[in-house]
Structure 1
Amino acid sequence: MSGMDEAGIGRRALLGGLAAMAGLGLASRAAFAFPTQPITFVVPYAPGSTDQFARAFGTEMEKILGKNVLVETRPGAGGTIGANYVAKSAKPDGHTLLFSTSAPLSVAPHQNQLPYAVSDLRPVARVGLGPNVMGARVGAPFNDVKSLVAYAKANPEKVTFGSAGTGGGTHLSGEAFALAADIKLTHVPFPGATPAVAATVGGTIDLALGFAQSIVPQAKGGRMVAIAQFGKTRAKILPDVPTFAESGVDLALSPLVGIWAPKATPDAVVQQLAAVIEKAAAGPAVIAFAQSTMTEVEFAGPDVFGREIAEESAMMKPLLVKLGLAK
């Protein structure tokens, strides 16, 4: 074989190799093409504020991605039915996501034997921080956290607080406050936050806990006193309501709302989703929702959100054990 022939074969081999590599590159890019179909947010609660929040994000994400974003409610068992569906039944390709409060990941695993593990879902983004507020009845023998703690220490179990039900977020928040303040309160469960607030306005119980939208308007109308908010810092929408930490109680328990994907979802898809969600958080539909519902919209990426869930879970476990609500 002549040198000319050998050179020709070498060039053809080189060109063939480059073509193969290019083909692999195209295949790799095709494998990570996203999205290729509508995205579905699974909300694990009955229709209400959480699915409205998801729809607001969906509206903005559709503008960015050029694909429809659907919202599907799968309520039941404290959010674990919807969480299990995304963890176990959804394809790990980023097209089916859980849009939820943190309870199915930080509270429910300590309460019951679940069909999914926390590790079966990977954090994509935190999008909301509540805020939750503690409000007191007008005429109570206290009007701020310091006087509440002093009164409760002098009168163990005399102070009553209402929640949206035993074992729920508002109940656990109230018990976390009592534990942090070293006081004893009496819990009065209601079928929802609204009747608990109504009972506080009516003077039949001393305290109610709930989202800002259920308590702050009552406080502004002079029918309740907003004592404190549960966040680490004052929410932008509640600049005049102090945190518990500011009032001498070492407690920060912001209700987290976020988005999760099945654990096998590729990193590239999660990163793209997080970037789109961050941009959507500043969109007009999300801003309008936040203003109308007094919701603190605050984006955090997968790593920060994952740490927050782990910290919340670590706080909830001993509290649930103390209350006799752990499995």
Structure 2
Amino acid sequence: MAQFTLPELESARFQAGKVVADALNTLLGAHDTLAGDVDTLESTVSGHTSALGAVQTQANENTGYGVASGLAVSAQSTPNMTVKVAAGVAYLPDGTRVAVAGNNVTVPAASSASARKDIVYVAANGALACLSGEPLAPAIAGLRKVTIVTNAVAGDTFTFGDITLTAVASNPGANQFTFGATAADTMTSLAGFLEGAITVNGDYVVAVVEGAIHITEKVAGGGNTPPAVTVTGTMTITQELTASSKAAVEEVVAPATPTNCVLLALVTVGQSATSVGASDIADKRKGVLVPVLVDASTNKTYKLVVTSGTLGIEEI
């Protein structure tokens, strides 16, 4: 039987204790690592669950674009030139989901010329907005006013559109004009020559009015806004486009809904009105649940729409 001295026994006990301690430390480290992995896994699962919940909400609400909930437009209890919009959720045409807080929307001041149709909508940035249509209005002729500041001398040029006239002292030929002793005299001469160069079938009439050459669109609202004039040489001018050509507004219509926006209501603003009442507001919300239908005979596709509580179809 082996014999151990006291120091040897103490050393053996120490070594055995150290082995046990190292084993316990290893087990504790493994436990901490496992606990960390469990926490990470729980966090990951929680994140995925939350994301899946958001996707499920969107899938439940949205198979098209429009209003998912709320966003009714109504008059104020004491009508004025604002309307109130209830809180709600809308999906923009690009698929963006926007939660909109209820708020008041200001309707621009009424026209004294005629009634007008405005729209209230959810804008592409998620804000509520109002866009005005145009009231009835006559056509507007384009008008440019030109004033000669420094008189012309021989060789100076005046260009309007594709017409260039060159200044001469006398005996003007084609594409020329005579300059006078004063700027006022030259304007009278130049207006006559420019009118002649434009010809009977041209788009403008030219005359001197109140000390300036007026170049006016011949047919108001024809889309022929007078272009800018250029000059070379000693002559200097000032010019002002005082009116752009604009066609007559002969029918009161609502403006188109801006790109990537959702229409909520049509608001009729009476001539010189000072308030918007309940009867002036037409609900134009469309729900987002839009099943797609296909006409087998024409291969055209349609979607179901709900407008002002009425179910209908609309070609896509």
TM range (shorter): under 0.3
Identify, as 1 or 2, the structure richer in helix: 1
TM-score (norm 2): 0.25
TM-score (norm 1): 0.24
Highest CA radius of gyration, 1 or 2?
A: 2
Which fold has the larger relative contact order, with Cα–Cα distance below 8 Å and residues 6 or more apart in sequence?
Answer: 1
Identify, as 1 or 2, the structure richer in strand: 2
